[in-house]
Each structure stands twice: as structure tokens, then as C-alpha cells.
């Protein structure tokens, strides 16, 4: 997997909001077919790093190189309550880049909704969905982009166990098709899904290893040695 160039490379990146430096000298790369989990405590800089990878945030030092368009699945989109957007409208935003026909767009939206278990939801109002249904709609928007790089900010936060299993399966399938998947997560199960886990603490990478971090395994818990932390594409 690592013999090919990465789809995204973050090289010694720093990022600040005003005077507050949030990310310090972060380096990582993600290859096709890889699932990378980013973990860390609240405020450690996970979402900021994901936005840096997506091109929303620009590093003050260092570089971010992407060799493919990015599909970013955010946790809370800026869609005002009361705006009459249907579920189909939100998912079809994921097809904007591809300029497909209306008929093809309809098929893409239908397929994406079926994959996340929301078949038949096309005409429902997005703002009237439950939190979990919204989250799955946003994932469908990400899948509709058919992008080789799928970045997700806490995609499982409001989901029940059955929905989590479904999303895990979708992410595994995406990776097996060659998509590079990066997810920010607090969820131990999702960390188990990952090929590699990066832990942030105060904006620095404190752990970068294959599989779940040692602190979520029995050995890690025993030793207590580690301390863990509508944009479409660029
Ligand atoms: N737009 C912003 N302007 C100023 N500071 C911000 C902004 N967004 C985030 N921050 C600050 O950057 C730091 C990192 O925030 P970030 O959202 O990246 O953390 P996180 O690890 O994703 O947290 P959580 O687990 O709570 O979602 C926090 O101190 C936060 O207050």
C-alpha cells in the first residue's frame, strides 16, 4: 500500500486561529484503500486538522498536498432551520462537480440513500430529520461525490448500534474500492475499523500507529502509559 504515492500528505503543518496556534508541526499521509482514524480529547484540533486536509484551512507553515478531489462529510452543515431543502436536494449537492444529467443525478441520489439505509427519504425535509438521519444523509452526500478521498467528521456521533454497523460496512467497502477514508472519531469501535490511528493532544500528534491505539487495548489500559486527544471538495 505504501509503495504508491499517498493521495494526501500533510507535511510539518501548523495552523492558528488569530493568535492561538491550534496545530503544531503535524505530518501524516493517507494512501488509497487506507482507513485512518484521528482521535483525541475535545479541543485537541481534530476538526481543524480535517479541514486543513480538505483545503478549508490553509497551513501557516508546512504543506498539504492532495492528488485527488476531496469529499468532506461535516457534522453540522450550515443549513438554516426552515430552509426548504429536501433530503434529495442535500444529497444531490454531492453531484455538483460531475455535471451529470438530471436522470443520472436521481439514480446517484437514490443509490446513495439506499446505501445509508434511507431509501424513500428523497422528499423529506432535511431540517425535520432526526440527528442520526441527518448524519446519514450527509454521508450519502459524501458518497454521491464518488471521490477517492473521503473525510468524515464524527460520522457516527448520533447513530444507534445498527446504524453504526451499517456505516462501518460502507466505509470498509469504500476502502476496498480504493478510497482513502479519514475519520475523526471518539468511538473505540471505529478506531478498531481503522488501518491506522493518529492521536492528537494539544494539536500535536502523540501517537501514529497501525490498528487501535494502545490506550484502548487491555495492555494500554493496564499500563496507562499513553494520553490520548457546504464544502464539497477542493
Ligand atoms: N473558527 C474558530 N475560531 C477560533 N478558534 C477555533 C475555531 N474553531 C475551533 N477553534 C479552536 O480550535 C481548537 C481546536 O478545535 P477543534 O474543533 O479542531 O477540536 P476537536 O479536537 O475537533 O474538538 P471536539 O472533539 O470537541 O470536536 C479549540 O480550542 C477551538 O476552540
List the chain pLDDT tens, one digit each, 234 residues: 456 889 999 999 999 998 899 999 999 999 999 999 999 999 999 999 999 999 999 999 999 999 989 999 988 777 777 778 999 999 999 988 887 888 999 999 999 999 999 999 999 999 889 888 999 999 999 999 999 999 999 988 878 888 888 889 999 999 999 999 999 998 777 778 899 999 999 999 997 777 644 443 333 332 222 222 233 333
- The DSSP output letter for 109 is H
Query: Could you tell me the residue ranges of all domains in the chain?
Result: 8-223
CB 180 within 8 A of CB 34: yes
Ligand 1, CB within 6 Å, residue ranges = 17, 22, 40, 42-48
Q: In what order do the strands lie in the sheet with 180-184?
A: 70-73, 149-153, 180-184, 35-40, 196-201, 204-210
CA distances from 143 to 64, 73, 76, 128, 183 (A): 23, 9, 17, 22, 14
CB 160 within 8 A of CB 132: yes
CB 14 within 8 A of CB 22: no
Q: Which atom in ligand 1 lies closest to the alpha carbon of residue 154?
A: 27
Tell how far the Cα of 232 is from the centroid of ligand 1, in angstroms: 20
Tell how far the Cα of 203 is from the centroid of ligand 1, in angstroms: 10
Residue nearest to atom 28 of ligand 1 (CA): 43
Tell how far the Cα of 74 is from the centroid of ligand 1, in angstroms: 14
Q: Which atom in ligand 1 lies closest to the alpha carbon of residue 18?
A: 4
* pTM of the complete model beyond 0.90: no
- Answer yes or no: CATH 1.20.1250.20 is held by domain 8-223: no
Residue nearest to atom 30 of ligand 1 (CA): 43
Q: What SS3 class is residue 92?
A: helix
CB 183 within 8 A of CB 190: yes
The residue behind cell 507553515 is 61
What ipTM was reported for this prediction? 0.97
Tell how far the Cα of 104 is from the centroid of ligand 1, in angstroms: 38
What's the CA dihedral at 195, 199, 204, 210 to 10 degrees? -30
Amino acid at each position: 500500500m505504501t509503495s504508491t504515492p499517498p493521495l494526501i500528505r500533510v507535511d510539518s503543518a501548523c495552523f492558528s486561529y488569530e493568535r492561538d496556534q491550534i496545530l503544531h508541526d503535524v505530518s501524516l499521509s493517507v494512501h488509497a484503500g487506507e482507513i485512518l482514524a484521528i482521535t483525541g480529547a475535545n479541543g485537541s484540533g481534530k476538526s481543524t486538522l480535517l479541514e486543513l486536509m480538505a483545503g478549508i484551512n490553509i497551513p501557516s507553515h508546512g504543506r498539504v498536498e492532495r492528488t485527488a478531489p476531496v469529499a468532506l462529510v461535516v457534522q453540522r452543515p450550515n443549513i438554516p432551520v426552515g430552509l426548504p431543502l429536501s433530503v434529495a436536494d442535500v444529497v444531490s449537492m454531492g453531484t455538483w462537480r460531475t455535471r451529470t444529467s438530471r436522470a443520472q443525478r436521481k439514480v446517484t441520489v437514490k443509490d446513495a440513500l439506499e446505501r445509508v439505509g434511507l431509501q424513500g427519504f428523497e422528499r423529506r425535509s432535511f431540517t425535520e430529520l432526526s440527528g442520526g438521519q441527518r448524519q446519514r444523509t450527509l454521508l450519502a452526500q459524501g458518497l454521491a461525490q464518488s471521490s477517492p478521498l473521503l473525510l468524515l467528521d464524527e460520522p457516527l456521533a448520533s447513530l444507534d448500534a445498527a446504524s453504526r454497523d451499517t456505516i462501518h460496512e460502507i466505509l470498509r467497502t469504500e476502502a476496498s474500492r480504493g478510497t482513502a477514508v479519514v475519520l475523526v472519531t471518539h468511538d473505540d469501535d471505529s478506531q478498531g475499523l481503522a488501518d491506522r490511528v493518529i492521536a492528537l493532544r494539544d494539536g500535536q500528534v502523540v501517537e501514529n500507529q497501525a490498528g487501535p491505539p494502545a490506550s484502548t487495548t487491555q495492555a494500554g489500559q493496564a499500563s496507562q502509559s499513553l494520553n490520548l486527544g457546504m464544502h464539497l471538495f477542493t
